[in-house]
Amino acid sequence: MTQPGTPIAWPLRAWLVVELLFSVGAILTVALDPANTQNRFAWNIQPVVMAAVLGAYYIATALVIILPIFARRWEMIRVMILPTVLFTVTELVATVLHWSTFSVGTLPFTVWFLSYLLPPPILLGFYLWHERRARKTSDAVPRDPLSPDVRRTLLHIGGLTTLLSIIIFILPQAFIAFAPWTVTPLSTRVFAGFLLAAGTLMLSMARENDRSGVLVGVPLLILMFPAVTLQIARFPDQVNFANTALFLIYGIMLVAFALGVYLMAHGSWRRVFQ
């Protein structure tokens, strides 16, 4: 028996498949083979550990794209749409600001550019369209609110992460001075985009305030910590493990991990896919 709510239109589901292809391409290059970004990615990311960490975030975001493809109702995937729009806008702005650093004209760059140029207007259009349809339907979705403590934590950690990401994006030199490994203004701003995705996703979860309506975003919260840890472990000689910024980033990821585990255990996956 299907749950009440607004069906996901097939064009949005089709676009999510396209997004998944973009994500898989990034994972196969920068995540699995970070040492060869000069030949296989949109730009040459140095040091290799920076490429590996960016790849870790691509890995962490993959399920956030896969799960909505199989969901049945708009209300079960809405939580990840606006954070995705903000993330892709941020990466597009970073691309324009550092255009000369990219391997412009190559296939990897073209894929990179399209993967951030197309999603903002398309996803925002789908968001507005589905929200209009949701307001018109009488088939309302009953809410199962988050506990006040969990919602408050999502707001605080999400707000802190979002603020930090904005500061890093606007003032990359401030992060460069304290980074746990060598970074450039471009890699710093791209990294800030992933932090923004995580922060705004937590804020979106607090806004959604539904135990099942937040579930498609949970894999990002859970996977950031292990994915980044495994990628860093591949190149330990390039990392300053006593770095304060590294402890701050790990602190945020550990809190996100704990929140993700809690939310996964207290939501209904059946509601997501029925």
Distance CA 62, CA 37 (A): 20
DSSP code of residue 4: S
Non-local CB neighbours of 153 within 8 Å, separated by 6+ positions: 255, 259
How high is the mean pLDDT of the chain? Answer: 94
Longest dimension (CA), the chain: 59
Tens of pLDDT, residue by residue over 138-180, are: 556 778 899 999 999 999 999 999 999 999 999 999 999 999 9
The residue with tokens 């030199």 is 173
The percent of residues above 90 in pLDDT, for the chain, comes to 90
Quote the pLDDT of residue 199.
97
Quote the pLDDT of residue 25.
93
Tens of pLDDT, residue by residue over 32-90, are: 999 999 989 999 999 999 999 999 999 999 999 999 999 999 999 999 999 999 999 99
List the beta strands (DSSP E) in the chain. none
- CB 260, CB 222: distance < 8 Å: yes
Question: What is the per-residue burial (b if ≥16 Cβ within 10 Å, else e) of 191-218?
Answer: bbbbbbbbbbbbbbbbbbbbbbbbbbbb
Non-local CB neighbours of 251 within 8 Å, separated by 6+ positions: none
Quote the pLDDT of residue 134.
87
- CB 86, CB 216: distance < 8 Å: no
Quote the pLDDT of residue 138.
53
Distance CA 223, CA 56 (A): 9
| pLDDT band (50, 70, 90) for residue 274 | confident
Quote the pLDDT of residue 216.
96
Q: What global pTM score does this model have?
A: 0.94
Does the pLDDT value for residue 241 go beyond 90? yes
